[in-house]
Structure 1
Amino acid sequence: MFQEVLGAYGLNVEKLTTEPFGSGLINHTWKVYGDGVAYILQEVNTEVFREPLNIARNIEAIKKYLDQTAPKYLFVAPISALNGDDFVVIDDHFYRIFPFVENSCSVDFVQEPEQAYHAAKQFGKFTRMLGAFNVNQLKPTILDFHNLPLRVEQFKVALENAGDARKAEAKFAIEEIIRLYEIEEQYVHMVDSGALNPRVIHHDTKISNVLLQVETGIGLCVIDLDTVMPGYFISDVGDMMRTYLSEANEEERDINKIAIREDVFAAIHKGYMEEMDSVLSFAEKQFFIYAGKFMIYMQAVRFITDFLNGDVYYKTSYPEHNLVRGLNQLDLLNKYMAKEARFEEIVKQINADRVNDPKKILN
């Protein structure tokens, strides 16, 4: 496979080393290097991305726009094969190659607030730079990816059809999801009222999707652009809240290890709003804190729905895996909501600091 794929790009596989790279869970990724060159080779998971050509068209349209409006911006787009195609297709498998960005690195977990700050700044910058881009040019790469009403409806159907044993096991989680239906109701109201503006949104803002400069840790750019499509800013902000705030991730079984880091929340707000403060409407800014509830709740709903359905979507390692994940997210959500008043204070202080010293970043 490697010889055929790399040959389509004019690369000699005999002079190159190919090894697995990164921690992504969707696509298969390798680093290809040697003979003075380095690339990232990736196979797109077409079980998740059923229309890979939509990905290629989206990236091409964004690249063309940024080349014209921000030619110095580091936009890591795939390299065309010798025949000019975006993908090399072998036995219905879709492969592509990216340039490897030297002196860059990524991290899998937020270890310090500065990392959250630089990541949030890069995701905000990406959306800001595409503020005048016609978002209608982009095609959905995963239909209904962050459609919370759909996820809640799927939960209701799963609950109706689930066996008694599964419902009994998930009793507490089910009660929590129902108790918090207001999160979905608020989302519907926001969308119906026009309070949220469609924008170019990354939709997968985990920390590993930002390249950092090796020596300084400063953010360079965002990567993994397959989920870039029209959406609302709460998706990107919410996913950062969900994946950055607690050192314990969604796989943690001990909920006592789940804790909200206020300094990381502050870093996310500072970084994102330094780029997006002039872009977001007054109404949108009121939903910055809500964004965390939106994404954490939706992920909890999805995990519990899959558990009730018999674990048909997410890969599991043990029988209660999806239930544990769902309870994990519900605990994170409750701890997040308990901090809302404190978050409001933090936002007010950041805004005051910005007025008093616009260049102020982190204490």
Structure 2
Amino acid sequence: MQLLNWLEKIKLLYGLEIQENQIRPFGDGHIHQTYLVDLGDKKLILQRFNYQVFQYPERISHNHDILIREIDPQKLPFILPLPIPNIHSELFSVIEGHYFRLAPYVEGKCVNEVNSAHQAYLAAKAFAQFIVAGIHIKSSLLQESIPNFHDLQLRYQQLLQAVSSTQRQVTGELKELVDFYLGQKPLVEEYNFWKSLLPLRMTHSDTKINNLIYSDDFSKVNAVIDLDTIMAGYVYYDFGDLVRTVACTEGESSQNWENIKVDMPKYAALLQGFQEVGDGVFTSEEIQSLPFGGQMMTCIMGFRFLADYLNGNIYYTIHYEEQNLHRAKNQMLLLKALQDM
């Protein structure tokens, strides 16, 4: 285990006695290298941070520091496992050019799929409660951990550029997809409308279901995790990403084209969770914008998958040449279903 090369310095920086046999790889995350540290009386999560994906670790550290100072953990019904400061009060420890961090371990279950409307409801409530917990934080204080992450206007322009410079023959199914997505200009205009109207909030910005830890019996959410994408955003971002990933009858890589629809019980549960938590806290316009979020977040991923295919599959990991094309088709069918609701 390569981590052992840095173990002595990690022990010094955190004032811990850690033996080699107390560390093991943990989870199935694809971005950071994650380890469980079992000290007997307590467990911790140790990560070697991937600064190729997140190129501004100092911004993430800045945002986490704001959360530590500004959010009262007693007011949340779940845990935010934020990084533990080292002996220098730093949230990241840099060792030989590599970034490490330590965080509390939270018991429970992390899943990749929602199996019931109730699980969807709990997820929506948790992510909405996270936004509400930071509603008092000025959005201007937060830094962009991934610049322009959810900028639909920019993603549309990037698709236009990809279409104009592609080496692929834009015919047949590819032309159908290009025409569909370039025809989403009204959605881009609606995005700009909401942008001019809504307040910026602290959002999680990556509300996939595996960024929650449920209790073992799925009766509640124990923790909201993967807090690296926290930044200023709109409430409908977090709702919309849940809709895209939870309320579709098929996963984003599915080619069961005729089966790609909106799972209405899960969609209704997501909406109920956000509305209940946001009642009296979110503005009426924010509540009204939620359905747009599902369309917008589905569309932005369609833009990105299709642009990547046109650019020669240079960003997303693929297992066969047409996978990004098929992902874009998948998102097109979901977007059509959402627009037909």
* TM superposition score category, shorter chain reference: over 0.9
Q: Confirm whether residue 58 of structure 1 aligns to residue 60 of structure 2.
A: no
Q: 2:82 aligns with which of 63, 77, 83?
A: 77
**CA positional deviation for 1:113:** 0.8
Q: Confirm whether residue 25 of structure 1 aligns to residue 30 of structure 2.
A: yes
SS at match of 2:72: helix
Amino acid at match of 1:219: V
The aligned counterpart of 1:211 is 213
SS at match of 1:39: strand
**CA positional deviation for 1:16:** 4.0
Q: 1:140 aligns with which of 132, 141, 144?
A: 144
The aligned counterpart of 2:165 is 161
d(CA) in 2 for partners of 1:240, 1:123: 9
**CA positional deviation for 1:73:** 6.0
Q: Which sections of structure 2, spanning at least 5 residues, go unmatched?
A: none
- When residues 318 and 68 of structure 1 are mapped into structure 2, their CA distance, relative to the original with a 3 A threshold, is closer
Amino acid at match of 1:10: G
- The worse-fitting range, judged by mean Cα deviation, of 255-264 and 159-168 is 159-168
**CA positional deviation for 1:77:** 1.1
Q: Confirm whether residue 172 of structure 1 aligns to residue 176 of structure 2.
A: yes
SS at match of 1:317: coil
The aligned counterpart of 1:246 is 248
**CA positional deviation for 1:69:** 8.2
d(CA) in 1 for partners of 2:330, 2:187: 18
The aligned counterpart of 2:104 is 99
Amino acid at match of 2:242: M
Deviations 1:51-71 (A, max 9, x none): 101111111111111139848
- The worse-fitting range, judged by mean Cα deviation, of 248-257 and 129-138 is 248-257
- When residues 199 and 71 of structure 1 are mapped into structure 2, their CA distance, relative to the original with a 3 A threshold, is closer
SS at match of 2:202: strand
SS at match of 1:230: strand
Amino acid at match of 1:142: I
CA contact (8 A) 1:106 1:208 kept: yes
The aligned counterpart of 1:287 is 289
The aligned counterpart of 1:277 is 279
Q: Which sections of structure 1, spanning at least 5 residues, go unmatched?
A: 341-363
**CA positional deviation for 1:286:** 1.8
Q: Confirm whether residue 111 of structure 1 aligns to residue 115 of structure 2.
A: yes
**CA positional deviation for 1:166:** 5.4
The aligned counterpart of 2:200 is 198
Q: Confirm whether residue 231 of structure 1 aligns to residue 233 of structure 2.
A: yes
**CA positional deviation for 1:72:** 7.7
CA contact (8 A) 1:41 1:96 kept: yes
- When residues 30 and 69 of structure 1 are mapped into structure 2, their CA distance, relative to the original with a 3 A threshold, is closer
Q: Confirm whether residue 126 of structure 1 aligns to residue 130 of structure 2.
A: yes
Count matched residues. Answer: 336
- When residues 212 and 164 of structure 1 are mapped into structure 2, their CA distance, relative to the original with a 3 A threshold, is closer
**CA positional deviation for 1:211:** 1.9
**CA positional deviation for 1:179:** 2.2
Report percent identity of matched pairs.
31
Deviations 1:328-356 (A, max 9, x none): 11111112222x2xxxxxxxxxxxxxxxx
CA contact (8 A) 1:18 1:30 kept: yes
- The root-mean-square deviation of aligned C-alpha atoms, in Å, is 2.0
Q: Confirm whether residue 37 of structure 1 aligns to residue 39 of structure 2.
A: no
The aligned counterpart of 1:324 is 326
The aligned counterpart of 2:91 is 86
CA contact (8 A) 2:81 2:103 kept: yes
d(CA) in 2 for partners of 1:88, 1:326: 39
SS at match of 2:130: helix
d(CA) in 2 for partners of 1:122, 1:10: 33
d(CA) in 1 for partners of 2:218, 2:295: 32
